[in-house]
Amino acid sequence: MSIAAEVNDTGVPRGSLAVWSLGQAGFVFKSSQGAVVYVDPYLGDACRDLYGLERLVEPPLAAAEVRADYVLATHNHADHLDPDALPEIARHNAAALLIGPSSCTATMREAGIPASQTYTLNHDDVLHSGHVRIHATYAHHVWGDPDDAPDAVGYVIDFDGLRVYVSGDSLYHERMEGIADLQPHLACICINGRFGNMSAAEAAHLATVLRAQTAVPTHYNMFANNLADPADFIGALQAEGGIVHPLVLTPGQRVFYPERDAS
Ligand SMILES: [Zn+2]
């Protein structure tokens, strides 16, 4: 069952944000102004084709169904910059901007996406557009070949005063502690502890250092070689003092942030 109609039809009250998990590191955010932002939508099977990694979770919608204003890629790996989904999304959303660091926008253009639809944000760059402000933040995603994703970023997206941090893929790095200055309310952080990413304990520490109100664990249980238990993240947040509330999302599930009843 596709979430496409639900994303279109959901009205978001002032002061809140609708959030859907897409699985892996993917999210949809819809603001009270109606802006729709996709981050790292992995909706195809590129990782099966490239690496033999079968997806364990069906995509909650098809790339052709996506209606977006902004599509953000955190780095140039297929589970984040989906080489099948993004050109399809670009074709159906002529007014959408597809955003990423230099290596990502280069890949987008190589995939046939018109340059006019791409916008490069390297870390510390900011795009202010309408009611949305997108700030690319430092990420430290190193595994295997050190040149694999040299310009990986995270993002802090400000939706008219409500701010979301998405880490993308990253190890813990001191430099990310400065993201606290951007005052994210909601933090979506990778917890899988392998392939160049933070462990549940490191993710919980970062969420606490950033003084987020709520933290969503990401980047697990899409592939058989990358399973994790979000209970470890919940426990780690407790061990950090229980200041940050955990929010575990199932792919396709809608929540409102701050939490409220659906309308
Ligand atoms: Zn990844």
User: Ligand 1 centre and the CA of 80: distance in Å?
Assistant: 6
- Pairing relationship of beta strands 70-72 and 36-39 according to DSSP bridges: parallel
- For residue 171, tell me if it sits in a domain: yes
Say how far apart CA 75 and CA 213 lie, in whole Å. Answer: 26
User: Ligand 1 centre and the CA of 212: distance in Å?
Assistant: 22
Residue corresponding to tokens 């790339």: 63
- For residue 258, tell me if it sits in a domain: no
pLDDT for the residue 147: 62
- For residue 130, tell me if it sits in a domain: yes
One-letter amino acid at 248 equals V
Low-confidence ranges of the chain (pLDDT < 50): 262-263
User: Ligand 1 centre and the CA of 203: distance in Å?
Assistant: 15
Q: Which two tokens stand for residue 73?
A: 């890629």
- For residue 251, tell me if it sits in a domain: no
Q: Do the beta carbons of residue 230 and residue 203 sit within 8 Å? A: no
Phi/psi of residue 124, nearest 5 degrees: 80, -5
pLDDT tens digits, one per residue of 114-127: 999 999 999 999 99
Domain containing 155 equals 4-9+17-245
Please count the structural domains in the chain: 1
- For residue 260, tell me if it sits in a domain: no
- For residue 181, tell me if it sits in a domain: yes
Q: Report, in this order, helix, strand and coil percent for the chain, each rounded to 5.
A: 25, 25, 50
- For residue 263, tell me if it sits in a domain: no
User: Ligand 1 centre and the CA of 225: distance in Å?
Assistant: 12
Looking at residue 160, which CATH number applies to its domain?
A: 3.60.15.10
User: Ligand 1 centre and the CA of 18: distance in Å?
Assistant: 23
pLDDT for the residue 259: 76
User: Ligand 1 centre and the CA of 35: distance in Å?
Assistant: 25
Which pTM does this prediction carry? Answer: 0.96
Angle between helices 200-209 and 230-239 (to 10 degrees): 50
- For residue 255, tell me if it sits in a domain: no
User: Ligand 1 centre and the CA of 260: distance in Å?
Assistant: 30
pLDDT for the residue 198: 97
Q: Which two tokens stand for residue 72?
A: 């953000």
pLDDT for the residue 148: 67
Residue 23 parent element (H or E): strand 17-23
From 191, 247, 246, select the one nearest 220 (Cα to Cα).
191
